[in-house]
Amino acid sequence: MGIKKMKKFQILGLKSDLDLITEEIIKNSQMELLKNEKYNTRFKNDQIENSYKPYFNKLNKIMDSLKLDKKIKEFNFDQLNKLSLEELEDFIMPIQKKIKKLERITNKLDAEEERLNNLIKHVYVMRNIDIELQSLKTLSYVTLIFGSLSQERYKRLIENVTEVPVLVLKVNEDQERVWFFTFAKKDYEQKALDILNSVNFNRIELPDRVTEEPKNILSQSRHRLDKIKIIRAQIKLEFKKLKHRYQEQLLKYYKQSLIFNRITDVNNSFYGKSDYFFITTGWISEENEKEFKKLISNKYSQVLYSSQEVEDAEEEDPPTIIENPKWIKSFSSLVKLYGLPKYGEIDPSVFFALSYILLFGIMFGDLGQGLVLVLLGFAIYKNKIKFIKNQDISYILISLGSASMLFGTFYGSLFGMEDLIPALVIRPMDNIMFWLGFTVMIGIFLLITSMIFNLFNSFKNKDYAEALFSDSGLSGLILYLFMLSNLAFYGLQNRLLIPVSITAVIVISLLLLIFFKEPLGNLLIGKKFSIDQKISEYLLESIFELFDTVLGYLSNTLSFLRVGAFTLNHAGLSMAVIILSQMMSNNAGSLLILIAGNIVIMVLEGVVVGIQILRLEFFEIFSKFYSGSGREFNPLSID
């Protein structure tokens, strides 16, 4: 559980074994190869011509055209034979020709269907005219203009053309628009258009083929569309025949070409080559290496495999592989919103999951509402809710719902009602000050834990300046605990834990250690301290940072008051819903208000609480120990 230990490996072998080694790496599926790695000058990144790529692209296109599933669940490398490109060409050519022919016909049908639908759209509004349109289009002395206007503008047009030599003939209308012919003398055409355009006339050009009566045109067009449907059905049947006849062979060739194409691409991208040898470097987990190393030594006697531990994570930049149980993994997806753990850091997933569940339960404690979340999570897990496929959500909902139920039992809250079941521990609304203080204590515990994590990370990475002298390191932790102890003692005994003078000396000493973090850190490792700015600027900047640190301790601690505030807010909203339900005159209305109110609380407040906890985790806790600057492991695979 946590971050897997990685090793950097190197493989050296004869070029004759290159394809076989790449195949083994792909089969392993847990090895990351490095691009642009610098090797001895004898090794160059020579490019090999990829003869398989054109055929793979053709097969890919054929698979798409026949709507064949290209997702391959597993590859049987043992049954993989060398692919004959001549045989593949002979197989692809006739299928490709047939598909291209069918696609050409389909494109022509698309164009014809679009033309006919456009024609029907224009002619349909003239369906009640029993005149051949050709006779109207070929008038010698009169121009025909066809189009439409809104009902209001059409009335305005009729009022304006009573005294001009223009004839308007309405052919159709609906509630919004009117379609009409406008007849004007040839020499009056432009003036007629100016009048029409002044009222935003929408002109419709009649296609050249529109010559007969509108009814006949509509009938012929619809008949032609019916024929197109029949032809499309025949084409669809031809595609089905092709799919049925060739799908098994296509899938076989597709698998082979995919593998050989991928192997060639990998050989061109990740290997250094000389006249006789190849070399490659990458990352592999320590547990996976044992099996792979054994395979190479047993199967390829002329291939040299070597590996080494990570010595400097900053310089070598190893990838991060996180391995956690499923319910922890679901919360890891939220951790990744902040960033992936850097190699050598603590994986905060378990801590994040436990603290997130705890805080959600405290802020959203209700036995009934928690049960709804649990049931919703189980429904997603069992695929009863089809539109949510992500099982991470199911684990999160079940965990949060369970915490909500637990704290709801502590509070004695069932769907917002606090008079149905007794409170096992406390009712927050009856003990507001105690409850706010309790949530701050939880915050203090989480902040101290985060500082301890920072100590562990810093010592592990040999960053002694951060470990000993930072505001989240040993000096900061002692200062924070000392200040808290004095405040607590003062609250109980009305005096400081130790005399003021000694307290001041300890506080100032710890602040000075934090202030001089960089020079003290350099002194520890025997490195000379130097800065790129003036001493005065450095001191001023450090003073402001120190002031921000002290304020940070206070603000980070008080931020956890919002945990208690949201607990009270949840109880307050529930009380408001219950009061509204009690104001209804009948039981049905009261129940409806109660159900609707609980749904609103679960949706809106559930989302707000979730976001607030993320804010506390990321800004108050993670900022103390977690960089989130890790690099995701990118293993070599087929696709």
Q: DSSP for 15-28?
A: GGGHHHHHHHHHHH
- 178, amino acid identity: V
Q: How confident is the model at residue 444 (pLDDT cuts 50, 70, 90)?
A: very high
**Rounded Cα gap, residues 602 and 508, in angstroms:** 48
Amino acid 534: pLDDT: 62
Average pLDDT over residues 359-388: 88
Amino acid 75: pLDDT: 66
pLDDT tens-digit map of 307-325? 999 888 888 889 999 888 8
Average pLDDT over residues 382-394: 77
Amino acid 528: pLDDT: 66
pLDDT tens-digit map of 274-298? 888 999 999 999 989 999 999 998 9
Helix (H) or strand (E) holding 120: helix 85-124
Average pLDDT over residues 355-384: 92
**Rounded Cα gap, residues 352 and 214, in angstroms:** 73
Amino acid 164: pLDDT: 67
DSSP secondary structure string for all residues of 544-579: HHHHHHHHHHHHHHHTTHHHHHHHHHHHHHHHHHHH
The CATH class, in words, for 131-212 is alpha beta
Instruction: Tell me which of 327 and 72 has the higher pLDDT.
Output: 327
pLDDT tens-digit map of 495-531? 777 888 888 898 888 888 888 887 787 777 777 655 5
**What percent of the chain stands above pLDDT 70?**
91
* Cα torsion angle, 461, 464, 465, 470, sign: positive
Amino acid 283: pLDDT: 94
Instruction: Tell me which of 213 and 139 has the higher pLDDT.
Output: 213
Q: Which of 307, 306, 296, 279 is nearest to 6 (CA)?
A: 307
Amino acid 514: pLDDT: 84
**Rounded Cα gap, residues 494 and 487, in angstroms:** 9
Domain extents in the chain: 2-83+248-316, 131-212, 324-625
Q: How confident is the model at residue 366 (pLDDT cuts 50, 70, 90)?
A: very high
**What number of CA atoms fall less than 13 Å from residue 541's CA on the CB side?**
8
pLDDT averaged over every residue in the chain: 85
Instruction: Tell me which of 451 and 151 has the higher pLDDT.
Output: 451
Q: How confident is the model at residue 466 (pLDDT cuts 50, 70, 90)?
A: confident
Asked if residue 407 has pLDDT above 90, the reply is yes
